[in-house]
Amino acid sequence: MADPAVASGGSLNAGGRGSGSKAASSPAENYHLARRRTLQVVVSALLTECGFESAEKAVVETLTEMMQSYITEIGRCAKAYCEHTARSIPTLSDTVVTLIEMGFNVDTLPVYAKRSQRMVITAPPVTNPPVTPKALSAGQKRTHPPHIPGHFPEFPDPHTYIKTPTFREPVSDYQVVREKAATQRRDVERALTRFMAKTGETQSLFKDDITAFPLIAARPSAIPYLSALLPSELELQTLEETDSSEQDDQTDSENTAGNIITDDPGADKENSMLPPSGVVPSTKASEDNVIDNPYLRPVKKPKVRRKK
Amino acid sequence: MNRKKDKGFESPRPFKLTHQVVCINNINFQRKSVIGYVELTIFPTVVNLNRIKLNSKQCRIYRVRVNELEAPFIYNDPTLEVCHHESKQRNLNYFSSAYTAAVSAVDPDAGHGELVIKVPSELWKQGDDLKVLKVYIEFSLDQPKGGLHFVVPDVEGSMAERGAHVFSFGYQNSTRFWFPCVDSYSELCTWKLEFTVDASMVAVSCGDLVETIYTHDMRKKTFHYVLPIPTAAPNISLAVGPFEILVDPYMHEVTHFCLPQLLPLLKHSMSYLHEIFEFYEEILTCRYPYSCFKTVFVDEAYVQVSSYASMSIFSTNLLHSAMIIDQTPQTRRCLAQALAQQFFDCSKSQADEWVLKGISGYIYGLYLKKTFGVNEYRHWIKEELDKIVDYELKMGGVLLHPTFSGGKEKDNPTPHLHFSIKHPHTLSWEYYKMFQCKAHLVMRLIENRISMEFMLQVFNKLLSLASTASSQKYQSHMWSQMLLSTHAFLKSISNVSGKDIGPLIKQWVDQSSVVKFFGSFAFNRKRNVLELEIRQDYTSSGTQKYVGPIKVTVQELDGSFNHTLQIEENSLKHDIPCHSKSRRNKKKKIPLMNGEEVDMDLSAMDADSPLLWIRIDPDMSILRKVEFEQADFMWQYQLRYERDVVAQEEAISALEKFPTPASRLALTDILEQEQCFYKVRMQACFCLSRIANAMVSTWQGPPAMKSLFTRMFCCKSCPNIVKTNNFINFQSYFLQKTMPVAMALLRDVQNLCPKDVLNFILDLIKYNDNRKNKFSDNYYRADLIEALTNSLTPAISINNEVRTVDNLNADVRLILEEITRFLNMEKLLPSFRNTITVSCLRAIRQLQKNGHIPSDPSLFKSYAQYGHFVDVRIAALEALVDYTRVERSAVELQWLLIMVQNDPTHYVRHKILGMLCKNPPFTKTTDSTLCNEALVDQLWKLMNSGTSHDWRLRCDAVNLYYTLFGLTRPSCLPLPELGLVLNLKEKKAVLNPTIKPELAVENLCLSLTSDFSDEDIDMETVHDSQAFIHHHLNLLERPSTPGKHTHTHTHTHRQKETEPPSVEQSMLSMPATPVPSFSKEATSSASKHGSEHSHHHHHHHHEHKKKKKKHKHKHKHKHKHESKDKEKERERDNSHAYSNSPASGRSLRSPSLSD
């Protein structure tokens, strides 16, 4: 059984029909078509043998398909058996076991083969099996080192096991980087907002074309001050980032201005004294007994009911 | 109680209140209702006290008991409906006097009140012995419209989870809205306050929290407060909500409260409060008067800051995180303001309020000076001075200390105003703000006079007097010494300083108006003398004559010299000898006022004159406006070398008139100078853009400020890309924000924004990168959008074609794309206070107005809905107000007015009316289809009865009515029955005042043709009244509709109006600066008619008499009805509390009285 036939089984459906109409140009396709045609002839012969005088095309086709599947399965199975026993080419016994495995009575085979009314079919036209295109080889294949015998398989292409330097020189030009960052951010924002506008309710500035400049509809919220006052997660994130890696002073020369607004250094000072959410609660906890604030005192239990 | 001991203070009441208990048992957030009782302990000060008058509004009163005895009472609130239904009067003069009368009728300072309680006869005997009376009143409030504000977000969960809260609010003394009391700043007493609230809530109120006790079912708790320091009822407040509690880490007696989830912001925002405390205590050398202090941050606040005894209620929107730059100084200012008001909080009478406001404003100014620096302080003083001067010149004088002799209307100290200043409740909000502003400026004038040291000593003296008085627990007659009064204040000043500030007080306190100077000079080379001429305008409205010293500073080549000139009656010219000869050749440094010596390029100077610049009243020690003429180079020198920020700012505004390369250079230099105060530099940006526009044909080089901005904020290697944001230097930050906004105002020869400026701004937006910044860039981005807005110019349109996407200008398309993206991003990542949405909405309105996109109000309507952040709503409403004016849309006007009536947020209602006044759809001098009878009736109803729950809103409505229709009967109304009214007293005949529109029109015509002042016209009419009336009768005989009638008459007038008939056309013909959001149309006040005035007076006289009669009736009724059963009484009272007409109170028609 020819392996390529097995391999090409999947593509048969595609190429099998309408071979006439389609100009089958590639040699691989011609090869498969020839095989297929032979199978059809076989099926037809068998039908004739069985006494049919004519058959619908669809029937022939179906039977061809079945036969092909059967043969393919035998081939696949036989190959599996042979590989199971660490060989590379199936032997007769592999095939026999396969047939038995598939529920075929092997003993009847010789009788059947020698039956009298057997029709002789011409061999399929000789066509060259398609040449599998060689994998594109990249780089020089390594030769075997001396301790490995020559019959062992060759090394694969170097790119499969060697780190290949494919990156380009990173763009370090400041202008380009900024340009890229800006464009990227803008694209992301635009895509995101467009998506939101597409999927949700929108408002429009134009009456004639409501899809131009779609605005995400304004939706009132029950507690509007929360979203307006609390910093968004993104901002918090950036704040953390800048906190951890102190902002590099790109404007060092400009910061020496003498006339700094007096209130704001104060703010910074206090920020450093009171880092966000750090100090206050802990002092509160530790000095709870020290702080005497009426709002922190426990709520008293009601006294025994008394008359007013 | 011997009242004679109280020197100078006569209580208007026949009793003294010593203690009051307020107990609120139940607060229902679902139903928005409150149930409670009050108990007032009073000492009668007259022998037969049989009636007690208290203040109470909108409370439903169930029962009143005096010393355990049921007492009958009458509830009558004449302010519910000022003028009666049947009245067809529609002129504002009538309304204002009726409103003043109504407020006076329940004025606690005159001993009146809405609630009159009859003391049971059993107690009369006791009253004779002047024994204590306890007045116990049970009351409830159901969905209060004023006084208490409920915020109940519509989400899932319990009330605490929803963040529902309630707080008290009001304009001046408004405590009567939420419990019965003596609602006066002059009646002090000690307090016991009890509030029972849900266990998950906190009740914050005045005084010390003594204890918190669970109720028996453990589901509620009661907060017990005691306020041992005598306090006036208007200083009592309450806030209940699921607040997060933060004890101040520096001062444990200070507690902060905020709504759930905002604690991190609260921590940051309150981290510097202790510094303010320390500052005030230090300068006043006096401890904070209360033993604790509480700050509460609430949503939907009435005002940003309101101060009460030992607590302040703030808007929650003042809270901010550490990333926000712009809000930080604002919040600090608000806190400082609130604290300043804590030290002085009660005055003897309305007339003394200026002392309170003045002192708190003054010490707040001292805080500003200390914290934000002298530059900021002087800048602020200049700003405030400009504000008050502009207001007074436009609207007429602001009187700090009005005296009302006899209360007759004739003696009205402010006849130019359309409201009475006698009561805080009749004051327009804008006037009140200006009043506060003037008060603190006058305090500063006093400081200039007697030195700061003495000033602080005076304050200290007043405070220690008050604290001694308050510590005398059982001598309530001493408490009146806690009340501040003009008299005591002035006496203290003269004691401490030994100086007589009488003339100063007379000029600025007892008299309204400001001074307007015009100055010019000439240099007399021969005599080496500067001949200075200072003229005054004291005839136009809002001005007064100034006589006294004035300081003039002359910067000469040899130094700066101060001269004090006397402004006298007739001397206009003053000779000032110069110290230096003109000698420009010598290279010598020039000494400045502050001792600094600088090199100057003197080539620009006049070779003959040694004068560099001259300043009049440099210390702002007069409330004045100075228009001074000096050469452009002098202004330029002043800008460059004068170190006082006020002088620099004055120079900048003067330079606008000199668009020359030299001015350009001076401004550019200032912009670059980092030592210069940042606000001056910001102002220079705008001046530079105006100069550039004036010089457009000769302008050399790149657009103004572009290269400067590039140098300061863009990358060295690629000048078209802005550096990644780093706002660590706040001055640069503010400059970076301002410059693009100013640049966008540049125009080229075609009156368009130059292409490279627009691209530049678009690039700024594109390359804006805030990832490495520790501060938020939301304000910066908002300003960039504003810059885009500023760059817009009117679209070229061919015969009013419909605006479509296809014919959108390419530049506008880019702008619109940015705005769309910003606005949409804001939905996903909202910015602090939604600044970006606010800017975008303004931009969209500007696009509409300039005809780039179709004018459409629906977007703004959706953003104006309740449920958006308040800043966004205001911005949207602003756009709608503008739309209403431009499109003359009756629908939108209705929509706005309905919102005024129904919106849950008081601040928004107030703002709508305020914005409508600022940018009115039409005015009394313009004709409009919007002006019709229905609108007049609607507005009349709004101010007459629709706004009785909020004094401020009512005054806003009055303002709007005034702006739209003026003082007289609106011209669009049909004429009422014609009639002459004979005023027998004044012996003249006048037309029925309801026909006044014609008169007004007539006056207007007159005032156009000749420059008669109001008095002149009056004279004219009185003189020639025969002919005048005859003329009018003739007019009236014509069967024309009144509207058309007016039309013909106003014709001449309207031609002078700037507004052309079609708005669309006007937009096209307009110069290409963007259409200002609010065109400030000069509201030329319709000249008021003297005769009409007198008529009103007359009319009122009658009204008063009638009232008196009715009063008598009422008392008779009451005597009769004493013994009626309670059931009926309650019924009657309910009906009164909820009946709309004050008449119901007078002509008591309840069953109990009819029999």
Q: Are B323 and A235 an interchain contact pair (Cβ–Cβ within 8 Å)?
A: yes
Q: Are A293 and B253 an interchain contact pair (Cβ–Cβ within 8 Å)?
A: yes
Are residues B50 and B35 in contact, defined by beta-carbon separation less than 8 angstroms?
A: no
Which one of A189, A221, A280 has the shortest CB-CB distance to B249? A280
**Alpha-carbon dihedral angle through residues B155, B159, B161, B165, given to the nearest 10 degrees:** 100
Write the DSSP symbol of residue B943.
I
Report which of residues A163 and B246 the model is more confident about.
B246
pLDDT mean over B834-863: 94
Where along chain A do the CATH 1.10.20.10 domains lie?
A: 27-114
Task: Look at residue B837 in the predicted model and tell me its pLDDT.
Answer: 96
Report which of residues B303 and A246 the model is more confident about.
B303
In angstroms, the CA B176 to CA B615 distance is: 51
Task: Look at residue B48 in the predicted model and tell me its pLDDT.
Answer: 78
- Nearest CA-CA distance, residue A175 and chain B, Å: 6
Are residues B11 and B25 in contact, defined by beta-carbon separation less than 8 angstroms?
A: no
Task: Tokens for B270, please give them.
Answer: 């309150």
In angstroms, the CA B690 to CA B695 distance is: 9
| Its pTM surpasses 0.80 | no
> For the domain that residue B617 is a member of, what is the CATH number?
2.60.40
10 Å Cβ neighbour count for B545?
A: 15
Task: Look at residue B977 in the predicted model and tell me its pLDDT.
Answer: 52
Summarize pLDDT for B398-437 with one digit per residue, the tens: 999 887 654 444 456 777 888 888 888 898 999 999 999 9
Chain B residues touching residue A263 (CB < 8 angstroms): 328-329, 332, 371-372
Residue whose C-alpha is closest to residue B226's, from B197, B253, B196, B193: B193
- Nearest CA-CA distance, residue B741 and chain A, Å: 22
In angstroms, the CA B246 to CA B258 distance is: 8
Chain B residues touching residue A240 (CB < 8 angstroms): none
CA pseudo-torsion sign B35, B39, B44, B47: positive
Single-letter amino acid, residue B525: R
Which residue of A225, A230, A244 is the best one to mutate when testing the B interface, meaning the one whose CB has the most B CBs within 10 A? A225
| Residue B458 sits in the same domain as residue B328 | no
Give every strand in the sheet of B148-151, ordered side by side. Answer: B148-151, B165-168, B238-241, B202-205
**Closest residue of chain A to B771, computed from CA coordinates:** A238
Inside any domain, residue B82: no
Task: Look at residue B809 in the predicted model and tell me its pLDDT.
Answer: 85
HEC states along A128-167? CCCCCCCCCCCCCCCCCCCCCCCCCCCCCCHHHCCCCCCC
Alpha helix stretches (DSSP H) within B52-185: 92-105, 124-128
- Please report, rounded to a whole number, the percentage of residues in chain B having pLDDT higher than 90: 57
Q: Are A206 and B854 an interchain contact pair (Cβ–Cβ within 8 Å)?
A: yes
Q: Are A229 and B215 an interchain contact pair (Cβ–Cβ within 8 Å)?
A: no
Q: How far is CA A118 from CA A42, A68, A107, B914, in A?
A: 11, 20, 18, 109
Q: How far is CA B354 from CA A215, A244, B437, in A?
A: 50, 52, 10
Chain A residues touching residue B676 (CB < 8 angstroms): 259
For residues B781-819, one letter each, b for 16 or more C-beta atoms within 10 angstroms of the residue's C-beta and e for the rest, the string is bbbbbbbbbbbbbbbebeeeeebebeebeebbebbbebb
> For the domain that residue B43 is a member of, what is the CATH number?
2.60.40.1730
- Nearest CA-CA distance, residue A272 and chain B, Å: 11
pLDDT mean over B985-1014: 41
Q: Is A246 on the interface with B (CB under 8 A)?
A: no
CA pseudo-torsion sign B170, B174, B175, B178: negative
Task: Look at residue A166 in the predicted model and tell me its pLDDT.
Answer: 67
In angstroms, the CA A202 to CA A199 distance is: 9
Inside any domain, residue B1086: no
| Residue B395 sits in the same domain as residue B482 | yes
10 Å Cβ neighbour count for A295?
A: 18
Inside any domain, residue B948: no
pLDDT mean over B1014-1031: 40
HEC states along B694-744? HCCCCCCCCCCCHHHHHHHHECCCCCCCECCCCCCCHHHHHHHHHHHHHHC
Are residues B792 and B846 in contact, defined by beta-carbon separation less than 8 angstroms?
A: yes
Which one of B218, B729, B821 has the shortest CB-CB distance to A189? B821
Inside any domain, residue B756: yes
Bridge partner residues of B530 (DSSP): B523, B576
In angstroms, the CA B1141 to CA B1151 distance is: 18
Summarize pLDDT for B1106-1153 with one digit per residue, the tens: 444 444 444 444 444 444 444 444 444 444 433 343 333 333 333 333
φ/ψ of residue A95, rounded to 5: -65, -40
Which one of A224, A250, A296 has the shortest CB-CB distance to B869? A224
In angstroms, the CA B849 to CA B50 distance is: 65
Q: Are A280 and B267 an interchain contact pair (Cβ–Cβ within 8 Å)?
A: yes
Q: Is A270 on the interface with B (CB under 8 A)?
A: yes
- pLDDT at B130 exceeding the cut of 70: no
Q: Which of residues 153-172 of A touch B (CB under 8 A)?
A: none
- pLDDT at B1039 exceeding the cut of 50: no
Q: Are B728 and A192 an interchain contact pair (Cβ–Cβ within 8 Å)?
A: no
Task: Identify the weakest region by mean pLDDT among A211-220, B685-694, B911-920.
Answer: A211-220
> For the domain that residue B296 is a member of, what is the CATH number?
1.10.390.10
Task: Look at residue B898 in the predicted model and tell me its pLDDT.
Answer: 94
For residues B957-993, one letter each, b for 16 or more C-beta atoms within 10 angstroms of the residue's C-beta and e for the rest, the string is bbbbbbbbbbbbbbbbbeeeeeeebeeeeeebebbbb
Inside any domain, residue B493: yes
Single-letter amino acid, residue A36: R
Which one of B211, B264, B717 has the shortest CB-CB distance to A277? B264
Report which of residues B973 and B1096 the model is more confident about.
B973
Task: Look at residue B1094 in the predicted model and tell me its pLDDT.
Answer: 39
Q: In CATH, what is the architecture of A27-114?
A: Orthogonal Bundle (1.10)
Q: Is A295 on the interface with B (CB under 8 A)?
A: yes
10 Å Cβ neighbour count for B30?
A: 9
Q: Is A181 on the interface with B (CB under 8 A)?
A: yes
pLDDT mean over B491-517: 91
- Nearest CA-CA distance, residue B451 and chain A, Å: 25
B154 three-class SS: coil
In angstroms, the CA A15 to CA A23 distance is: 11
Task: Look at residue A164 in the predicted model and tell me its pLDDT.
Answer: 63
> For the domain that residue B384 is a member of, what is the CATH number?
1.10.390
- Whole-number average pLDDT of chain A: 74
| Residue B53 sits in the same domain as residue B143 | yes
Enclosing domain of residue B447: 355-405+412-509
Q: Are B674 and A257 an interchain contact pair (Cβ–Cβ within 8 Å)?
A: yes
Q: Is A190 on the interface with B (CB under 8 A)?
A: yes
Q: In B86-187, which ranges are E strands?
A: 115-118, 133-142, 148-151, 165-168
Q: How far is CA B648 from CA B385, B662, B740, in A?
A: 16, 16, 22
Task: Measure the CA angle with vertex B769, ends B767 and B770; round to 5°.
Answer: 160
Bridge partner residues of B151 (DSSP): B165
Summarize pLDDT for A12-33 with one digit per residue, the tens: 343 334 434 444 467 778 888 8
Q: Which of residues 62-81 of A touch B (CB under 8 A)?
A: none
Q: Is A197 on the interface with B (CB under 8 A)?
A: yes
- pLDDT at A252 exceeding the cut of 50: no
Which residue of A229, A287, A299 is the best one to mutate when testing the B interface, meaning the one whose CB has the most B CBs within 10 A? A229
Which residue of A261, A282, A308 is the best one to mutate when testing the B interface, meaning the one whose CB has the most B CBs within 10 A? A261
Write the DSSP symbol of residue A21.
T
Are residues B230 and B206 in contact, defined by beta-carbon separation less than 8 angstroms?
A: no
Which one of A230, A238, A255 has the shortest CB-CB distance to B771? A238
Task: Look at residue B1086 in the predicted model and tell me its pLDDT.
Answer: 37
- pLDDT at B638 exceeding the cut of 90: yes
Are residues B344 and B443 in contact, defined by beta-carbon separation less than 8 angstroms?
A: no
Q: Are A227 and B869 an interchain contact pair (Cβ–Cβ within 8 Å)?
A: yes
Report which of residues A260 and B318 the model is more confident about.
B318
Task: Measure the CA angle with vertex B156, ends B152 and B158; round to 5°.
Answer: 65
Last residue of a domain, one of B837, B854, B871: B854
**Closest residue of chain A to B835, computed from CA coordinates:** A228
pLDDT mean over B545-560: 91
Summarize pLDDT for B143-180 with one digit per residue, the tens: 999 999 999 998 888 999 999 999 999 988 899 999 99
Task: Measure the CA angle with vertex A147, ends A141 and A153; round to 5°.
Answer: 45
**Closest residue of chain A to B247, computed from CA coordinates:** A293
φ/ψ of residue B397, rounded to 5: -65, 155
| Residue B521 sits in the same domain as residue B604 | yes
**Closest residue of chain A to B714, computed from CA coordinates:** A251
Are residues B34 and B27 in contact, defined by beta-carbon separation less than 8 angstroms?
A: yes
Task: Look at residue B1004 in the predicted model and tell me its pLDDT.
Answer: 37
Task: Look at residue B235 in the predicted model and tell me its pLDDT.
Answer: 93
CA pseudo-torsion sign B277, B282, B287, B288: negative
Task: Look at residue A18 in the predicted model and tell me its pLDDT.
Answer: 40
Chain A residues touching residue B847 (CB < 8 angstroms): 205
- Nearest CA-CA distance, residue A26 and chain B, Å: 53
pLDDT mean over B623-639: 94
Are residues B240 and B199 in contact, defined by beta-carbon separation less than 8 angstroms?
A: no
Chain A residues touching residue B728 (CB < 8 angstroms): 247, 249, 251, 255
Last residue of a domain, one of B242, B272, B301: B242
pLDDT mean over A271-300: 58
Residue whose C-alpha is closest to residue B908's, from B944, B870, B941: B870
Are residues B410 and B90 in contact, defined by beta-carbon separation less than 8 angstroms?
A: no
Instruction: Give the strand pairing for B15-28 and B188-198.
Output: parallel
Bridge partner residues of B519 (DSSP): B534, B628
Chain B residues touching residue A258 (CB < 8 angstroms): 674-675
Chain A residues touching residue B217 (CB < 8 angstroms): none
- Nearest CA-CA distance, residue A297 and chain B, Å: 8
Are residues A152 and A144 in contact, defined by beta-carbon separation less than 8 angstroms?
A: yes
Summarize pLDDT for B260-288 with one digit per residue, the tens: 999 999 999 999 999 999 999 999 998 88
**Closest residue of chain B to A241, computed from CA coordinates:** B772
In angstroms, the CA B751 to CA B657 distance is: 19
Summarize pLDDT for B70-114 with one digit per residue, the tens: 999 999 999 988 888 666 778 888 899 899 999 999 999 888 999
pLDDT mean over B807-817: 89
| Residue B390 sits in the same domain as residue B527 | no
Residue whose C-alpha is closest to residue B256's, from B237, B232, B239, B236: B239
Q: Are B859 and A215 an interchain contact pair (Cβ–Cβ within 8 Å)?
A: yes
Domain tally, chain B = 5
Range with the largest mean pLDDT of A141-150, B945-954, B993-1002: B945-954
- Whole-number average pLDDT of chain B: 82
- pLDDT at B792 exceeding the cut of 90: yes
What does chain A come to in residues? 308
φ/ψ of residue B590, rounded to 5: -105, 125
Task: Look at residue B586 in the predicted model and tell me its pLDDT.
Answer: 61
B246 three-class SS: strand
Task: Look at residue B137 in the predicted model and tell me its pLDDT.
Answer: 96
Chain A residues touching residue B823 (CB < 8 angstroms): 215-216
In angstroms, the CA A65 to CA A62 distance is: 5
Inside any domain, residue B500: yes
Give the long-range contacts of residues B32-35, CB within 8 A, separation 24 or more.
Answer: B32/B142, B32/B143, B32/B144, B32/B150, B32/B152, B32/B166, B33/B140, B33/B141, B33/B142, B33/B143, B34/B140, B34/B141, B34/B144, B34/B148, B34/B178, B35/B139, B35/B140, B35/B141
φ/ψ of residue A259, rounded to 5: -105, 45
- pLDDT at B980 exceeding the cut of 90: no
Q: Are B731 and A301 an interchain contact pair (Cβ–Cβ within 8 Å)?
A: no
Task: Tokens for A264, please give them.
Answer: 């704001």
In angstroms, the CA B971 to CA B965 distance is: 8
**Alpha-carbon dihedral angle through residues A249, A254, A257, A260, given to the nearest 10 degrees:** -60
- Please report, rounded to a whole number, the percentage of residues in chain A having pLDDT higher than 90: 19
- Confidence check on the interface: ipTM exceeds 0.90, yes or no: no
